[in-house]
Homo-oligomer: A and B are copies of this chain.
Amino acid sequence: MVTKQEAAAAVRHAKVVTGVTWAQLAQAVGRPLAWTTAALLGQHPMSKDEAATAAALLELGEDAALAFQQQPTRGALDSAVPVDPTIYRLYEVIQVYGPTVKELIHEQCGDGIMSAINFRLDVQRVPDPAGDRVVITLDGKYLPYQWE
């Protein structure tokens, strides 16, 4: 009986041992890069085939493959405010620009939200002469407040 958290730890370890990359895992599984990464870190359930493919590539056993298929209880941070600097910068963006994003969603779309469920995410390194950039795209369906 392996939990999704234990499976995620096994994935990180197996990546170091086997040298397999997230990109290779995504290609093998046939799903987008960020989705595959999130799924193997325990945030999305995989199909049986996806799980088997990923486990094989990572040289992990059946227990891990089973864990990959389970319905997750989502939430990946150790504390309410993340401490790791790479993740903290995302929190800093919300602290500084959260109300800005809210104002612009309301101005452009009305009273509603960007869905985090009907949602996809992409992370890209973009070459730039002044220093390469990390571009993160959050792309979610607009959901208007709708009562009736």
A→B interface (CB under 8 Å): 1, 3, 9-10, 12-13, 16, 21-23, 31-35, 37-38, 41, 43-45, 66, 69-77, 79-109, 111-121, 123-126, 128, 130-148
Interface of A is mostly: mixed
Q: How far is the CA of A138 from the CA of B138 in the complex (A)?
A: 8
Choice from B77, B82, B95, B105 contacting A123 with Cβ under 8 Å: B105
CA distance A40 to B80 in the complex (A): 27
Q: Is A76 within 8 A of B98, CB to CB?
A: yes
- Which of B80, B87, B89 meets A99, CB within 8 Å? B87
Residues B94 and A84 in contact, CB atoms below 8 Å apart: no
